[in-house]
Structures are given as C-alpha cells and as structure tokens.
Structure 1
C-alpha cells in the first residue's frame, strides 16, 4: 500500500483570499511544554465546504455522514483549460459516492500572489454532470471551483456534494488505475473545516 498526500501544510503564511486575515499560529510555552494557539477562517489551505456554506438551511459539516469522506477516487486531467466543461466527463462511469478530483496544475502557484487570479473554473454543466454521476465530493487544486455569484458551489452543495479546495500533488495520480481517497475534516459545527486528504494506492 502507498499513500499520497494531497494536502498543503497548514501554516501562518499560507495564501488567503484577498482581504481575508492570515491565520494566526502562535507558539506558547507554559508549564514546561509547547502549545500552539490557532485563530483562522475555515476557508484557508486545503479545506472542505459543507452545504451550509452556500445553501440556506444546508447541513453543517458536523452533520454530514462519515461515509461521505472516503471512496473510490477518479482524477480528471484539465491542465491547460480555463473552463473545465462537461465533455471531460463524456463516456466516464463511476462508482456511486465516488470522489472526483480535478487536476489543473494551478497548485504550482499556491504561494504566489497570482494564485487567486485567473484560476481555472468548473462550468455549471460539469457540476450538473457530477450530480448525475452521484459523486460525494468534488475536489480541485485551485482556490475555488467558480467565482461570484458561485453557481457551481450552489449546484454541488445544493445536492450535498462536498467541495474540497486547494489540493496538491494530483498529478501523481494520473497513471494510477485504482485508488481510494480518504478526506477527513475536523468535526466542526461550521460551514467548512481544514481537511487532510490522502490517496491510498493498493
């Protein structure tokens, strides 16, 4: 068995959405031990969005069944595309509750100011097709699948398909025939949470 980490390291100098505060990760030494204080938005680094993030009355992340967080993984190679459209899913069949990952190559800019600029986006047609395929999660290596007014977020989250943003290392899965994804977020009563995402290759 081989594990591939698809998660960016959580640290204070991570890029954040323009205008948002950076996370505070502060070392406190007391009583002979080290302790870290963390103050952060949930929407930084590799994180998972729950329906509540965009859907009025949607579920909190803590309310999602744990079965949602693991499943057969599939990766779509969308490098070089500005818009990730539904034809990339033509002829593809997937297991129900699969985890669909979109490789754009944009994670190479993660620590650059350009990361939040001109990033590839998923089309509404692609999101609708993901719903039809019955996936449980859509994840990608960009800061968001779309831009305001966030129609793709609303299509996916409105169908209780979770979203993972800011993945990395997806290119390592391109030639892997079969893999499982485990994406376990903090069990927070919130609209999102940091998540550790790992591909398990047998």
Structure 2
C-alpha cells in the first residue's frame, strides 16, 4: 500500500514569535542573528521555556528525583489511539465517568487525545488560560488504571487551571482574583473543590504516561476516530519538557493501522 493514500493531520498549535503563552514569568524571545540582505543566510535564535504552545511534560517538571524527557521509552510516542470529544464549559472538570463513556472506547495501550472544545479559544486571553476546563486527580487516575500510553489535551495544562499556581497552589496565587470570582459564583471557597496542586501532572507523569498540553490544529477533524499518532520530543538531556509536533494519521481505505505490543 502506498503511503500517499494516508491522510495526515496536524494537532499542534503554531509555535514561535507572538504565540500565546501560559501566564508565568518566563517569556519567549526570537532574535534574528543573520538575514539574507546582509549575510546571505537566515539564522534565528530562540530563548524560551519549553512549556509553551503544544509541548510535552516530563515527570521532573513537577516532582523532584523523577525521570527527564529522554527517560521516556520511544514506543510511548507512536502508536494507535483515539481522539475523544468531552465538551466542557468554563471551569468544567473532566471526570472518570466522562472518560469511561467516551467514544471510540479508550483501550489499554491507547494514545488518547481529549477534545474539550477549548482549543477554539487558543489565544492571549483568560478564556483559554484562566477559565478553561481540565483534568483533575480522579480522571488522571482513571487513565493510569486504564494503562493508556500517552495523553494529550486541548487546554492550557494537564491540570485544570484552578489546580495550578494561578490560585493558591505552589508559588501562587498569580491570579488571586480567580479565587474571589469562583467563591462568588459557587458560594464556597475555591480550595474546597481544588485542594491539590497539579495532581493530574503528578499522577500521570510519575506513572510513566507522557502528557501533551495545548493540542489543537486539526483536532476536530479526527475527533471520534481511531487513528495512528506520532509525537516525538527532541533528545534533550535532562530536559523537563519539550515543544513538540503532534501528527495523526488515518487511512481512508482502512488498510493501514499500526499496533504495538508494548
């Protein structure tokens, strides 16, 4: 079978100058070192945290004395899986029941891409970075118990935004008004519902499941389908994360499918 019949889908957000960035202290800077009119070549330099745009986290990012990005086995980054629709509104929490009911059915050893609809708000705005839905501890534990291979999601982080330092977790709150807004909307303190700091990161990553944040691009086109995914970070020694290109492949003739026994 010719690979020309396969359909390829980009699941990464555009990365580089002017891209939306997670609200933290480090920013992305792109500098032109050489250009054609002057030097006859084009050379640019990037200074940035790797936790920008579509990227993969390593366990060391959230817990000391744990593996780096190069410690993941290569088979984790390639294989069959599903893109599932789990639509959620502002601050919605993805539950274990949501994952159990998702279609196509999530199977052991799957790569799982979760489409909440939040990627439509991708931009330098609170709708995406402060008000998005997300995973929390119970859903993360469900994915671990299901023994999936890798998880990607179309929101600002592997964790719900109210489980990050935007509020009173870790070095936060960087966005204290969110706690006031939540208490006003819900009638009780935010920490009653989100007492843990980045539990989805810790539960999945330390179980050996790579996590990809800010999935987007053609995600809607493959949602509800079983397909082949590839998403290799580069070989960064002692890297705690990595910007990444995520690609899905579908064979419209249903003659090609990659399976791994790993």
TM-score between the two structures when normalised by the length of structure 1: 0.92
Q: Residue 72 of structure 1 corresponds to which residue in structure 2? A: 80
Answering whether residue 177 of structure 2 is matched by residue 165 of structure 1, we say no
C-alpha offsets along residues 51-95 of structure 1, whole Å, 9 cap, x if unaligned?
Answer: 111122111101221111111121221113511000123264514
CA distance in 2, matches of 1:8, 1:20: 21
Q: Residue 157 of structure 2 corresponds to which residue in structure 1? A: 144
Q: Secondary structure at the match of 2:123?
A: coil
Aligned residues of 2:158 and 2:212 also touching (Cα < 8 A): no
Aligned residues of 1:86 and 1:123 also touching (Cα < 8 A): no
CA distance in 1, matches of 2:20, 2:120: 13
CA distance in 1, matches of 2:220, 2:150: 18
CA distance in 1, matches of 2:24, 2:231: 28
Give the structure with the larger helix fraction.
Answer: 2
Runs of 4+ with >3 A deviation:
none
Q: Residue 57 of structure 1 corresponds to which residue in structure 2? A: 65
RMSD in angstroms over aligned alpha carbons?
Answer: 1.6
Report how many residues are paired: 200
| Change over 3 Å in CA distance of 1:72–1:186 after alignment to 2 | same
CA distance in 1, matches of 2:149, 2:60: 16
Aligned residues of 1:76 and 1:88 also touching (Cα < 8 A): no
Aligned residues of 1:6 and 1:199 also touching (Cα < 8 A): yes
CA distance in 2, matches of 1:50, 1:181: 19
Q: Which is further off, 27-36 or 156-165?
A: 27-36
Q: Residue 128 of structure 1 corresponds to which residue in structure 2? A: 141
Aligned residues of 1:124 and 1:151 also touching (Cα < 8 A): yes
Answering whether residue 60 of structure 2 is matched by residue 11 of structure 1, we say no
Answering whether residue 111 of structure 2 is matched by residue 99 of structure 1, we say yes
Displacement of 1:175 after TM fit?
4.1
Q: Residue 255 of structure 2 corresponds to which residue in structure 1? A: none
CA distance in 2, matches of 1:63, 1:8: 25
Displacement of 1:174 after TM fit?
2.1
Answering whether residue 120 of structure 2 is matched by residue 119 of structure 1, we say no
Answering whether residue 209 of structure 2 is matched by residue 196 of structure 1, we say no
TM-score between the two structures when normalised by the length of structure 2: 0.72
Greater C-alpha radius of gyration: 2
Aligned residues of 2:10 and 2:247 also touching (Cα < 8 A): yes
Aligned residues of 1:51 and 1:60 also touching (Cα < 8 A): yes
| Change over 3 Å in CA distance of 1:93–1:119 after alignment to 2 | closer
C-alpha offsets along residues 17-37 of structure 1, whole Å, 9 cap, x if unaligned?
Answer: 223333111222164211110
1:156 to 190, 197, 204: 204
Gaps of 5+ in 2: 1-5, 165-196, 252-262
